[in-house]
Amino acid sequence: MKTALREKIVQYGRNLLANQLVVGTWGNISCKTADETIIITPSGVDYNRLKPEDLLEVTAAGKILTGNLKPSSELLMHVAIYQGRKDIQAVIHTHSIYSTCCGVLRQPIPPLVEDIAMVIGGTIEVAEYFLAGTEELGQAAVRALGQKNAVLLANHGVVGVGPNLKEALKAALLTEKAAQVYLTTIQAGKPYLLSEKDVAILHNTYLTSYGQKGGKENNEDID
């Protein structure tokens, strides 16, 4: 099953490029396995050249179990997020343009449209700035993430999380959409936001009854 999971992560790396969420080798992807280890992308490897055997397997504390390459520079952040939120099974970190703009402005993205409320669960907060790759950045990301499914990293990028890779990517994509909608809207006037009550209803609907809820997908399912 871990072989299939590695192949899926490689494909999601290609998806980051296809959706213009990253440039070059930046960004990183990880997800948990059935035995609570973490599979994570290596540092500085082009997504178009990334192979399943290039990925690393680490313990829940970040100790390398298998892999010959250097792990992602944001390994500590991934570990911190998994430790802080036991419901999270996948983490995707991108440097998408509009989301990064909001992070540079230190501007949270409010709940402007329904899909953001449904998937993210409310305002997308900005984590306090710390240097990339540090334990401090990981802890700041966990604090700002709270119980939502995306967080902006000040002067850096965005992190999307979820119960599987599909949902983590969806969170990252919708955060980028929300950032673009927000930055565009405020140029024209004052945006009208969804109420906290409506956000809560929409998010609960997404979690409990949206789409086909007949079965629960996990990271090792192949789309």
Give 206-223 pLDDT, tens digit per residue.
Answer: 999 887 764 445 544 433
Task: Spell out the residues 6+ positions from residue 24 whose beta carbon is closer than 8 angstroms to its own.
Answer: 46
- For residue 223, being part of any structural domain is answered with no
Q: Residues with catalytic annotation?
A: 74
Which domain covers residue 31, as residue numbers? 2-208
Give 53-99 pLDDT, tens digit per residue.
Answer: 999 999 999 999 999 999 999 999 999 999 999 999 999 999 999 99
Tell me the mean pLDDT in the region 10-27: 96
CATH number of the domain where residue 27 is located: 3.40.225.10
Q: Domains in the chain: how many in total?
A: 1
- For residue 168, being part of any structural domain is answered with yes
Give 175-189 pLDDT, tens digit per residue.
Answer: 999 999 999 999 999
- For residue 57, being part of any structural domain is answered with yes
Give 149-167 pLDDT, tens digit per residue.
Answer: 999 999 999 999 999 999 9
Q: How far apart are CA 203 and CA 115, in angstroms?
A: 9
- For residue 218, being part of any structural domain is answered with no
Model confidence at 1, in pLDDT bands (50, 70, 90)? low
**pTM attached to this predicted model:** 0.93
**Residue 172 pLDDT greater than 80, yes or no:** yes
Question: What is the Cα Rg of the chain in Å?
Answer: 17
- For residue 116, being part of any structural domain is answered with yes
Of residues 204, 193, 177, 171, the one with CA closest to residue 112:
193
Q: What Cα–Cα distance (Å) separates residue 133 from each residue in 74, 158, 175, 188?
A: 5, 14, 22, 37
Give 104-135 pLDDT, tens digit per residue.
Answer: 999 999 999 999 999 999 999 999 999 999 99
- For residue 111, being part of any structural domain is answered with yes
Give backbone dihedrals phi and psi of 209, rounded to 5 degrees, phi first. Answer: -140, -5
CB 175 within 8 A of CB 124: yes
